[in-house]
Amino acid sequence: MNAKPSAEHPALVPLVPCVGKDSIWYDELEKMEESSDWKQAPPLLSHDLISKFLGRVHSFTTVGLEAQATAFSFHADGVIRYLALLPQHNRVSSVEDWAGDITELNAVEAFAAGDHRPGDGYIQRCWIHTHPRFKAFMSSIDIFQMFLNTKTNPSSFGIVISPRDQV
């Protein structure tokens, strides 16, 4: 895209949901294909979504605790630009939602109120998760989480980030 980002038209980052098998180092995933069976158009991620996420979870990352968030778009083919960080239990090797009254539905209601759009148009699209002490990879727990997410929305995907330098 050649257009300069603005508040109305942020720069968009196309995501290509295809991971080469050479970039996966887990033995159990060695049979992964070079091509993707993704049927939809590649999702578009707002250019500042990941930096906003990392800014919000920085305090967890600096002490080595994992963090997570859910990203939404308005409609299934919309730009993924809405970030929801729900209450969570952060640990060194896992992160999980804190059982309570705040859910993704509360986030959707907040998005709808801010955008003056109907709440039923917001779609949960992406699960973002950190591995602050490890390389960025999909652990078996992460793969199971993605399985649960795709049961609700087959076009959902995950991003695992390792924001710390490898030593």
| Segment (H or E) for 96 | strand 95-97
pLDDT tens digits for range 19-36: 444 444 444 444 445 556
Residue 72: pLDDT over 50: yes
Domain map (residue ranges) of the chain: 46-161
The 8-class DSSP code of residue 101 comes to: S
- Please tell me the CATH superfamily of domain 46-161, with its number: Cytidine Deaminase, domain 2 (3.40.140.10)
* pLDDT value at residue 125: 92
Residue 27 has which token pair?
């033995």
How many Cα atoms are found within 13 Å in the side-chain-facing hemisphere of 72? 21
| pLDDT averaged over every residue in the chain | 78
C-alpha–C-alpha distance, residues 113 and 136, integer Å: 35
Give the chain's end-to-end CA distance (angstroms, integer).
Answer: 35
Name 74's bridge partners: 122
122-130 and 68-74 strand pairing: antiparallel
Residue-wise pLDDT tens digits, 130-139:
988 888 888 8
